[in-house]
Every structure is written in C-alpha cells, then in structure tokens.
Structure 1
Amino acid sequence: MEIDEAREVRTTCPYCGVGCGVLAKVAADGQVSVRGDPDHPANFGRLCSKGSALAETIDLDGRLLYPEIHDRRAGWDEALDLVASTFSQTIAEHGPDAVAFYVSGQLLTEDYYVANKLMKGFVGSANIDTNSRLCMASSVAGHRRAFGSDTVPGTYEDLELADLIVLVGSNLAWCHPVLYQRIVAAREKRPEMKIVLVDPRRTMTADIADMHLAIAPDGDVALFTGLLAYLGQHNALDRAYITAHTTGFGQALFAASALDLASVAAATGLTEDELGRFYSLFAATSKTVTVYSQGVNQSSSGTDKVNAIINCHLATGRVGRPGAGPFSVTGQPNAMGGREVGGMANMLAAHMEIENPEHRKRVQRFWTAPAIAERPGLKAVEMFQAVADGRIKALWIMATNPVDSMPDADAVEAAIKACPFVVVSDVLARTDTVRHAHIRLPAAAWGEKDGTVTNSERRISRQRAFLDLPGEARPDWQIVAEVGKRMGFGEAFSHATPSEVFAEHAALSGFENDGARDFDIGAYAGVDAEGYEELAPFQWPAPGPVQAGRQPEEGGQAGHRPSSIRFFADGNFYTPDRKARFITIRPTVETRTSPDYPLILNTGRIRDHWHTMTRTGKSPRLSQHIAEPFVEIHPADAQRFGIGDADIVRVSSPRGDVLVRALVTARQRQGSLFAPMHWTDQFSAKGRLDALTAPLIDPVSGQPALKHVAARIEKFAAKAFGFAVMRQRPAPDTASYWAVAKCRGGWRVELAFGDDDIDWAGFAGALFGTPPGAAEMLAYHDRDAGQHRIAAFDGDHLSGALFVAPGPVAVSRGWAAEQLTADHANRRGRLAIVAGRPGGVDVDRGAIVCSCFGVGANQIAQAVRGGCASVEAIGAALHAGTNCGSCRAEIRVIVDAQILQAAE
C-alpha cells in the first residue's frame, strides 16, 4: 500500500477472546500507532497493555518472508506442488487418516473454514484439530452435553447487569483485562454488586472480590455439585423452568445430595463456613453470572466442571436472562470462529455434528465434496501421539507452536522431528516448531491479512489489513486453497477473496437450517466485497429468510429462532426434545502427588505476555513488567525446600525439568506452585514449561490437564548471578540459566552460572558482540566478594553492561536498560554505570508496574509519600492504572504498604 496521507483502519485485536476493536493509524511516513475503537461494542475504546503495544510487534525482524524447502529458499509453485503431491501420495498409500492439520485460534475464520473444508470434505478425514483444544474444548463438550449445541447463552452486557459475578478459574484482571474493567466500572455504579473469586491462587483479580475461595486444585466439581444439593435443600430452585425446559434433574440432584457439607469441604479444601456463605449468596441472588476460563477447562475433569456449573444455572432458571447465565470466556481471538467452522476434530462445519449422518450428508451436499469424514478425528494430544507412533506420516501445522504449548512438549518435539513430512505455515522464520519443518510457508501477520474473528460473546468482527504483505507472504486461506487446487479439487477452492470464503461460510450456516441449529449467519450469505469491507461487528444468530417448504430434520423443530441475542431464557435448546439436559455428576478426588513429587504445579499466563511470545516478545514495553520465567511458591514451602526469593530453582516432574526464578509469595496456595507457560528456547535456557506437563486429558473433551501437575522444586546451586544489557541480541549459551528480553535500544538478559571460575571480561565481550580492542571498556572487579561490573562503549553510546554478583543482582533493571539509549559523552558519568546506580538527578523508576505508561514501583511509592493515598490519586498524578487497569491491584498493594509504613 502506498501511503500519501495518514489513514486509520478499523480492525480487531489479535490477542484474547474479548475481541476488542482497534483503530490502527498509519501515518504518511508509514509509522503505525494503535488505540482502542470507541465505537466497538466489546471494548468501547479500552485496550489492555498487550493491545496498546501492538504497534511494537509488527516489524519484520525475524519474519519468514519466502518459502523454504529443507532450509533453502524456494518458489511458491515448487513448495505448494511438493506439499500437494506429498499429501496426495501419502493418502493414496496409507489412507486419509495418515495426514493431519494442526491449526490455531490465531487463524481467521476464513483460514479455518478453508482448512477444515479441505481436510473433512476432500481428504475425507477429520484429522484437523486446533490449539484451541488446549483452552476451551471442555466448554464445547459441556455445552453440547447440556444444551445440545456449543452455545454461549449470554453477552458481555450481562457482566454489567449481574448482581453477583462468580469468577471460576479465571484471572480476569490479567488474562481478560478489558472485561475486568467493565466489571469494575459497573460495580462503581452499583456498589451492591458482589464478586466471588474461585481460584487456588490469590491472583490480582482478587483485588475486586468480596470473597476469595482458595479452592484445592480440581475441587470445582465438588464445589458446584455441592451447590446443586444446597439449592435443592434450601428450596432455591426454579421448578417451573426445570419442569418446562429440562430433563434429568431428579437423577442429578439425587447424585449431588450424596455430598454433605463436610464432604464438600474435604474435597475443596474450603471451610464449611466459606461454603455456606458462598452457597447462600448464590441461592439468594437471581441475577448471577458464572464466568469461567482455563482453571475450569484445563483439567482431566473439565467437562464435568462445566456441567456442574451449568446444572446450577439450569436449576435456578438463570440461563440467557439479562444478568444471568454461565459464561465461558475464551483465550484466543478466534477460538469461537474455529468452533463455528468445525475446526476441531470432533465437529463439523456450522456447528453440525460429525456423528450425525444427516449432518454429514448436508455438509457434503453443500460442498459437493467427493467424501466426508465419517467419524471424529484425532484430538490434539492423540494427534501428536499418532505422529510419534507413525500413524500420521504427513503433518501441516498452521499459526501455532506445539513444541512449546502442547503437554509433554519434549515428546511432541521428538514426534515432529521424526515425522516423515512436516509443513509449517507461520509468520516467524525461527520458532521452536518451525525449526523442524521440511517446508516453511510464509504467512500473513496481523495488520496484513483480511478476515473475521468471533469473540466470547458470539460477536463477529473484521480484521482488516493496513500493511502491505511483506516479501512473498500470503494469507493462510489462500495457501490452503492453492494446495487444494493442486490436489485436484480446484473448483471447490476457487475463492478469489476472503469475502467469498466468508459468504460461503455464512451460506452453509443457514443451509437447511430454519432454526434447527444455533449457529446461523445466513443473513450474510450474499455479502459482496463492498459489504464485507464495510461489515460492522454483529452477534449471531443472524439468520436469513426462512426457507419455505423445508421440513425440519428428525428430532428438530423449525421456527424456533431466538427472539433476542441471548439464548435459552425461554428454553428451546438444541437437543432432540428441545430441553436442556442436567448431567449427573459424582465428584472424585484424585491424588497425583507423591513423596518424590509432593507439590502441585499450576500453569498459566501473565499480564503482558501471550502464548509463546512470538508476538509480545518483540515489544520492549511488554517485557518491562516480567522479563523472565518464574515460579510462585508459598513462604512455608520455600522455607521447607530451602529456597529464597529470587533464587534460581529447578522445577521437575516425571517428564522433565525447567530452570526458573523463584517468587516467594503468600498469594500462592501452600503445597502448590504456579509458573507461566510463555518462555521458549528462543527466550530462555530451560524455560519450556510444558515439558513438565503430562498428556493427561479429559475423557470427554480431550482437553489436557495443564493446571494439575505433580512436581518438585529444589534450589539450583548457582555460584554466580548476572544481569546485562546490550545493543545486540545476546547468545549467552555458556550460562546455566539465561532469559533474554527486548528493551528499548537493545536487549536485557538475566544470568546464573554453575561455575564462577570465568573470565568475566571475555564473557562480557562475547555477550556484547565486541571483540577485544573494539570498544572502550570500564570495569570494576572485587574477586573476593564475587562482584564484577563491566561496561563497553562505542563512541558516546553504551554497547553493553554486565553486572555479576554471588547472589541475585540488585541493580535496577529499568535504569540499566535506559542507558542503552542515553548519551554518554560525559566520561565521568560513565562511572555511574559501573557503579550500577543512577548518579546526580537521575531517578530510578524501580520495577515497572504499569506497562502502558512505563510507571515504576519507586515512582508510585514516591507519589504516595507526596500525598497520593489511593489508586485513583496515583492515576491522576502518574497516569498509572488509567488505561487497561490490569495494574491497579499492584498499585493498591504499593499504596497500602507505604501508608502502613508511614503509620508505624
């Protein structure tokens, strides 16, 4: 795109399932800036720290810009011909189930649709699954069991209308900050609103909770089964709704009633008093929304957890009404879109069922497909096990990084390395997965591709291109369509634009539907290129005209179209009898710990990073808050295992081990650990957390149990610690522990060494990329104390600085990183770098708390001492906490600590 003047493009954020609208402004000089779209109904102008930093992630550093075959550059025709011929030959020799696609919630709906169509309708196998299997498959399974369809009943507005919000396994403040802020704003208007947090950890979301239930890992089934029994015992049921719109209530209640309060307390780790207070609050509050996320889904009992929650809402008639309902919030921008097109191995397109022969015939007829998958394919964990044992011989991975994100990640990596033919479509040239591909295909990135995504409230929004495609990159849908053509299916994959793909997807959703299925956007079946370009965000269902003369399918009823954007307030579910099903659940308690592995490891996300950091790792702003892998441990456990704050520790499971930094905190539940899953071999020495997790799955959904892993922890015997900043990306491979992060002007790296007999000057030169004599060096050495500080200068600029100590290095990270962009013409001033602290009037901001505005802990503490006595006052003075608000809880901790210190 040639740019003559500044322009602003409406698009959608590529991070979580909130689906925030973004305005991307491209200046006349090509510079890009982003802000929230004030007119988008998901966020009304708000963005989280990740969304606010999107402009920092769109550079071409590290991009895959042309196809590669066996590490050599190739043309598109050669690469696509080889993909098509190898897949065709593999199918001919071994059958369609010998090939597989592993796709991603990062794909747009149009990409997903074409990939699913090729695999299920033309290859004839259902071996297409998605990394969304890892985050919300149990919600899908729970919805289908209860509702007969994968339907999220409510909308974001319900979060503002509710009188009680129950957050279960959801650190909303960090993982869905914009929704968190919508709730905060709603409660400021209605202080009587109550919030309960159910989570083993006291996360930052607890800052707004009236009650925090520090539940034992996987205690959720018992908690909500016990709630169902309580509702029955205390006459808090909506018996009219139960009778008119549900089946199976008696059996479900009978099973639940076997649990008394003492049994629930034992299974959940909660006191009977805590249970009683929560149960009575739920029973008394008709407008209740239960929001759940990965803490529910990522479990070997995840589907039962989902249904235990839904059972309580069905029993009280709190489904699909304003301010009431169970609400699954998804982790990826298009997890919902992938579900709509059948991008999971056990689903057909348009929410049809692969097990249903009528649905299979319908989809095959619509596609004019030569074949249709007749049974569910292999779900993600099973898929990579099939790659490992040779059943799958050709694998295509799109827009995801399973070597880091799959459970038992080392085994997954070994499987991919041994697979005869691996294709990877990706944005980056080097990820832990891309490095093992036989063929690498350059895909379009956010800002370069056009399509749609669906957020957690069923709202479809456009992602629009505002950047030219770099090099030879292509959109994913086009890459897959070209392979389909070369496999002999040209007519079915003749789409010229994403608008044509979307129109076909919309037409299939309405095809022979007439209200028999929940997902229907048939109103958009005739959309043309102009209409697609102007497409405004909308929620489904959006059905087209009723098809006259068509009979409903067996067991279905035509004409039951929802009268509002919410589902199920008046019943009419998508089961054969149009009634919701109560699921009978009997909680079980599973012990995974042992004397060798006495702790429970919980994995998850942090505030400013995303998945495996292929995008957020490019942003200096997003690495300011937390720049290295870590593990949270309770003070009592830290004392038990001889671990101090900021020690390097080894966390192990029966499958592997990692080296991470210890964070000792009372927010962690005793007996449990928490560590984030973001770090990879690209950013750390040994931080691939999913090397520890087991391929243990929920038997219904196939979702892995990533939140409950038996583990042990021990202090790593580091003899020296280091911290360094430098202008070029380092390769500190000689260190036992390292973690690199982008900072303004260069890179920062944390280090630890198993040996301290090191030529530190030589190590520093190699780290900075400055050969001996190529830079002016200043150094301080106290060998007896184990203290070493070395700085290298190229003219008036700092090339790098290294700080070494026998314990965790105390230098201010933010201040040291800022020296990379400072002018160091004053040679006396250079001594401050070697001293490791600001000199003169320089102010050390301290550890960054607010990434949006770069505000540090020292600045906040100083503002409190100057009279700012609240989070709001800090916001007025420093702007901290006034954008996405996800740092407000941390700000409150600092404010309270300073006020307490002043009062002593």
Structure 2
Amino acid sequence: MEEAREVRTTCPYCGVGCGVLAKVAADGTTTVRGDPDHPANFGRLCSKGSALAETLGLQGRPLQPEIGGRQAGWDEALDLVAEKFSRAIAEHGPDSVAFYVSGQLLTEDYYVANKLMKGFVGSANIDTNSRLCMASSVAGHRRAFGEDIVPGVYEDLECADLIVLTGSNTAWCHPVLYQRMLATRRERGTKIVVIDPRRTATADECDLHLALDPGTDVLLFNGLLAYLVQSGMSDTDFIRDNTSGFDAAAALAGADAPSIARVAKGCGLAAADVQAFYDLFADTDRTVTVYSQGVNQSAHGTDKVNAIINCHLATGRIGKPGMGPFSVTGQPNAMGGREVGGLANQLAAHMDFADEANIDRVSRFWKAPDIARRVGLKAVDMFQAVADGRIKALWVMGTNPAVSMPEASRVRAALAKCDFVVVSDVTRTDTTRYADVLLPAAAWGEKDGTVTNSERRISRQRPFLPPAGEARADWRIVCDVAARMGFGDAFAYQSPVEIFREHAALSAFENRGERLFDLGGFADLADEDYSTFAPRLWPASERGEQQT
C-alpha cells in the first residue's frame, strides 16, 4: 500500500499567507496542519485554515466544460470562447471585451491573463475583485512612495511597542497575525490601540478603543500629524533627507485639525481619548499602524491611507524594525495580482500607462506591438459597460461579481444582457448561472504556482490531489484560448515555472533600480528550484537575496 505523503503548500484564504502541510493518506483521506517552518505562521492555523480538508469535496463543482448548460468537450468550449472574443474584437474593437479576475488566482494565472488582454488583445479592460478592497492602498502607496510598496514585514509586529489597528478586525479577519500581536503584548508589554466605529473582537484585548464616527479617519490622523508637528515630535532630519511636500501636508493637516478639541468633536470621541492616543503615538518610536478594509473600502480610502502614512513619514518611523504603516490584504494573492499588473490602471511589473517608456518597454519584452496604451475600465465601470452594451464579451475568472460587486442587482442584470459570458471557476455560483460557457478550473490542492502575501512574501501553492474531473489550471485555460486566437507563440508555456521565470525577467527588464519590484534573481530559476522554492520576500534582484 502506498505510504501517506505530506506536501508543503499555502492556505488559500486571507492575505496572511500561512504555510500548510497537507497529507494524503493511502486511502485518499486528506489532513492538514500548519507548517512550523513557514515564516508567516510558524505552524499556527486559524479555524478556517484548520478546516481546509473539509473543503475538498466535489459537491457543487463543475467537472467538465459546459456550453449553454449542456456538457461539452474542451476543444468545443475553447474554440467557441476564442471565436466569440475574436469576432467581438474584429467587429467592435479591442475595448469591446473584458476580463474580470480574482485575488484567488495564482500569480502565474494572473500573469498570462494580463499579458493576453493588455499585450495581445490590445485593451486594458482587465480588472480584479481586489479593486474593491485594495485599490485605495495601491493608490496611497504610489502617492507616498512612487510605487506600490508595503514598507513592513510581519516581524515588525513582534518588535513594536505600539500597534495601532485601524479599520481592521484582525481577530476575525487575520487571526494568525492577531495571535502574534497578542503574544508580543504578553512578552514585551506592547500597547494596542483599536480604531473602529464598532466594538469588535479585536477591541476586547486592546488598551484603547477609539470608536470614532464612520468616515472620520482622515480627520483623526490629520490631527495626529498636526499634533506631532506642534509638539516638536517630527523627525526634521528624516523629513529633510527623505521626503518632499512635508510643509504643505503639515499646513493642510493643521488647517483641517487645528486642535484636539476640534478632532474630538469631529470624530465623535472624548477629547481625553484623543489626547491619550496622540501622546502614545508621539512617545513610542517603535509603532506599527495596521490597516485593512475599513480604511480601504471607502470613497476617501486613498486619503485615509496617506493620512496614516504621513504620520509615519513625519516621525521617520518607517523602514526600521518595529515601525511603519502596514496594509494587510484580504485575499491570498491580491498582492501577486498587483505585481503582475492585474488592475485596469496598471500595465505590468509595477509599471503603469503614465510613462510612454513603460509601454514601449513591456511591448518590446512581450513582442506585442499592439499593446494597450491607455488605462482600461475599472470594476464598477466595467460592469456598467457590460450593461450598456459596450462590452460584448466578458470572461469572469474565479470570482462571483453577481454577489460581491456593489449594486449587485445591476451587475446581474448586466450579465443577463451581455452577448457572451465566460466563467471559469471551481464551483457553481450566482455568476455561473449567466455563463454561456462554463469552464471547470483547478481548485486548491490541485493548483500549482505562487502567491504573495501581505508582507511581500512569495510562497508556493503545490498540488497534492489530481484535478477533479476535467478541471484545468487557470493559466492553461488562458493559454489555450490565446493560442486559438492566434497568439500561440507568446503563450507556449508548458508549466507554471516557465511563466514565473518570465514574470521575474520582466520585473528586472531595463530596471536599473527605478522599480523596487525586482525578481530578477529568479529569471533563470531551474525547474527543481521552483519545485522546492522556499517562502521569501521581494525585492530579490540576486539569487537568495532577502530584503525586508
């Protein structure tokens, strides 16, 4: 009888990116436990991660392609997808088609989808459900740092003397990180401040809970910046040597929040609590501010992000152990999608459309003369374009916009009207009901590739089960459609490592340090090294280099 085998992989739930050891017994039974060697969790798993084995059943999974609700073969389904997309492009132009993708995709899946749409279809109409949760943080990072850089790692939480949790119910949404915070509190007396209109489970263990009125985060952090300046607590040397625009930002903050009394009244807080928070922040060098969806999912999300970052820049508390603003992501590979350019306003590899040199560079690298040259439709606008008929063919990959999008009833109506809808997913959803073609995708346990977590750590997802039925990897499905559309030479990958190597090479292409996102050390990664790839942080411009 075959012996049980244990495979190192990564949890497919939140952005913490916990390592998982999956064991498949000789009788096919699967068990999971935390990987004690993975630096994201050191063996810990939350209740969801611990129950992963219970998600591996086939109930609700499409097991072969379907066309109009009837079962079909892969060739027939892929031929139809390629024919419909090609016809729409020929008759209505490249902007008449769109991809709506997901933070559940692996980086290799994301890369080929982005390359096909932007490089060879010639449109930037590819956006992701990460738009709804992380786009504000991306914009805030770019505004502050010039690039979508997360300037911290999980280890900072264990070096901090103050952790500020704002817009984040970490106890429920990122419980493994929360347990690391509580352990730090026990070991070194770290103070925890929770900023949230609600009293959540996270607030139960905090030293100060600021239940501010919804939407007043910018005022609170502008007040903090003004207080730091007025109290002489800003780091003038750091500001002079590393920032620009500080005086203007400080003046705006002072005008918006001239006093603690003004902040307290505007935020619906007691002045004594505001004072306590400001004093604690001012007096504590090792401060990490963790923020998540409560900050990002807002009409003013980018301003909230920058108000937080400004306080760290003003004090020089960034890029040092136990210090910095820290965005924690909701999905397992929202970060990987951002790296490859999976947002409509990004190009690829942390390059955007604003600089013509970027477009020229990626065009030459991909050998794609018809590359998209302007931003595409973002998620909400994309579904509006579906509703009014501008989008003739839509491919939804690994997400359920019929439920998860704002104004979901309008999205469902748009899907019902769309000329041609393709859905590739691991399970039947409200969205698959609208699919003219449904393509069965490989699920967790069957997928092979990489993901990047909230601290920029790349980890492998490895298969330990065969694909269910006729399910295929997302990257394989995209490449098969690309070949049928006439782009086969550019999508002739035979394995995910080939895609990963190209992704790494693009990040380093003509990159002389202008872009911090650099995986050049992996551009010639051997197949065996990819197979045994250990979790590591980027940048990684040289093999084995570890950056924090």
Q: TM-score, normalised by structure 2?
A: 0.98
Aligned partner letter, 2:243: T
CA distance in 1: counterparts of 2:501 and 2:47, whole angstroms: 34
Residues 670-698 of structure 1: CA distance to partner in whole angstroms, max 9, x if unpaired?
xxxxxxxxxxxxxxxxxxxxxxxxxxxxx
**Preserved CA contact (<8 Å) 1:120 1:372:** yes
Aligned partner letter, 2:448: D
Aligned to 1:281: 280
CA distance in 2: counterparts of 1:273 and 1:371, whole angstroms: 60
What are the within-5 Å matches in structure 2 for residues 34-433 of structure 1?
Answer: 34-191=32-189, 193-258=190-255, 259-260=257-258, 261-428=260-427, 430-433=428-431
CA distance in 2: counterparts of 1:473 and 1:427, whole angstroms: 8
Question: Structure 1 pair 530/249, CA: closer, same or farther in 2 (3 Å)?
Answer: same
CA distance in 2: counterparts of 1:114 and 1:422, whole angstroms: 19
Residue ranges of structure 2 left out of the alignment (5+ in a row): none
What are the within-5 Å matches in structure 2 for residues 394-543 of structure 1?
Answer: 394-428=393-427, 430-543=428-541
CA distance in 2: counterparts of 1:8 and 1:152, whole angstroms: 32
**Preserved CA contact (<8 Å) 1:500 1:528:** no
- What is the deviation of 1:263? 2.4
CA distance in 1: counterparts of 2:184 and 2:250, whole angstroms: 34
Aligned to 1:855: none
- What is the deviation of 1:544? 3.5
CA distance in 1: counterparts of 2:501 and 2:174, whole angstroms: 30
What are the within-5 Å matches in structure 2 for residues 770-849 of structure 1?
Answer: none
- What is the deviation of 1:185? 1.0
What are the within-5 Å matches in structure 2 for residues 532-571 of structure 1?
Answer: 532-544=530-542, 565-566=547-548
Helix, strand or coil at the partner of 2:396: strand
Aligned partner letter, 2:359: R
Helix, strand or coil at the partner of 1:348: strand
**Preserved CA contact (<8 Å) 2:151 2:319:** yes
Q: Which has the larger radius of gyration?
A: 1
Helix, strand or coil at the partner of 2:394: strand
Aligned partner letter, 1:220: D
CA distance in 1: counterparts of 2:5 and 2:506, whole angstroms: 35
Residues 817-859 of structure 1: CA distance to partner in whole angstroms, max 9, x if unpaired?
xxxxxxxxxxxxxxxxxxxxxxxxxxxxxxxxxxxxxxxxxxx
Aligned partner letter, 1:283: A
CA distance in 1: counterparts of 2:352 and 2:505, whole angstroms: 17
Residues 261-296 of structure 1: CA distance to partner in whole angstroms, max 9, x if unpaired?
232222211121111110111011111000000000
CA distance in 2: counterparts of 1:370 and 1:465, whole angstroms: 36
Aligned partner letter, 2:172: W
Residues 344-368 of structure 1: CA distance to partner in whole angstroms, max 9, x if unpaired?
1111111111221111111111100
Superposed CA RMSD in Å reads 1.0
Helix, strand or coil at the partner of 2:83: helix
Runs of 4+ in 1 over 4 A off after TM superposition: none
**Preserved CA contact (<8 Å) 2:501 2:525:** yes
Aligned partner letter, 2:320: R
Task: Judge which range, 322-331 or 254-263, deviates more.
Answer: 254-263
Helix, strand or coil at the partner of 2:490: helix
Aligned to 1:793: none
Helix, strand or coil at the partner of 1:282: helix
CA distance in 1: counterparts of 2:413 and 2:266, whole angstroms: 38
- What is the deviation of 1:135? 0.9
CA distance in 1: counterparts of 2:358 and 2:547, whole angstroms: 25
**Preserved CA contact (<8 Å) 1:423 1:437:** yes
**Preserved CA contact (<8 Å) 1:313 1:319:** yes
- What is the deviation of 1:4? 1.7
Helix, strand or coil at the partner of 2:486: coil
Q: Is the aligned partner of 1:6 residue 2:8? A: no
Helix, strand or coil at the partner of 2:168: coil
**Preserved CA contact (<8 Å) 1:165 1:291:** yes
Helix, strand or coil at the partner of 1:423: strand
Aligned partner letter, 1:138: S
Question: Structure 1 pair 227/372, CA: closer, same or farther in 2 (3 Å)?
Answer: same
- What is the deviation of 1:337? 0.2
Aligned partner letter, 1:284: D
Question: Counting helix residues as a fraction of each chain, which structure ranks higher?
Answer: 2
Helix, strand or coil at the partner of 1:479: helix
Helix, strand or coil at the partner of 1:79: helix
Aligned partner letter, 2:200: T
**Preserved CA contact (<8 Å) 2:540 2:546:** no
**Preserved CA contact (<8 Å) 2:393 2:421:** yes
Residues 484-526 of structure 1: CA distance to partner in whole angstroms, max 9, x if unpaired?
0001001100000001111110111111112210111111111
Residues 581-639 of structure 1: CA distance to partner in whole angstroms, max 9, x if unpaired?
xxxxxxxxxxxxxxxxxxxxxxxxxxxxxxxxxxxxxxxxxxxxxxxxxxxxxxxxxxx
Task: Judge which range, 385-394 or 40-49, deviates more.
Answer: 385-394
CA distance in 1: counterparts of 2:128 and 2:90, whole angstroms: 25
What are the within-5 Å matches in structure 2 for residues 701-740 of structure 1?
Answer: none
Residues 13-47 of structure 1: CA distance to partner in whole angstroms, max 9, x if unpaired?
00000000000000011100000000000000000
**Preserved CA contact (<8 Å) 2:336 2:451:** yes
CA distance in 1: counterparts of 2:187 and 2:271, whole angstroms: 32
Aligned to 1:632: none
- What is the deviation of 1:564? 6.9
Helix, strand or coil at the partner of 1:84: helix
CA distance in 2: counterparts of 1:366 and 1:321, whole angstroms: 35
Aligned partner letter, 2:21: L
CA distance in 2: counterparts of 1:105 and 1:423, whole angstroms: 18
CA distance in 1: counterparts of 2:524 and 2:502, whole angstroms: 9
CA distance in 1: counterparts of 2:261 and 2:206, whole angstroms: 25
Aligned to 1:898: none
**Preserved CA contact (<8 Å) 1:510 1:544:** no
The structure, 1 or 2, with the larger RCO (C-alpha pairs under 8 Å, 6+ apart) is 2
Question: Structure 1 pair 491/142, CA: closer, same or farther in 2 (3 Å)?
Answer: same
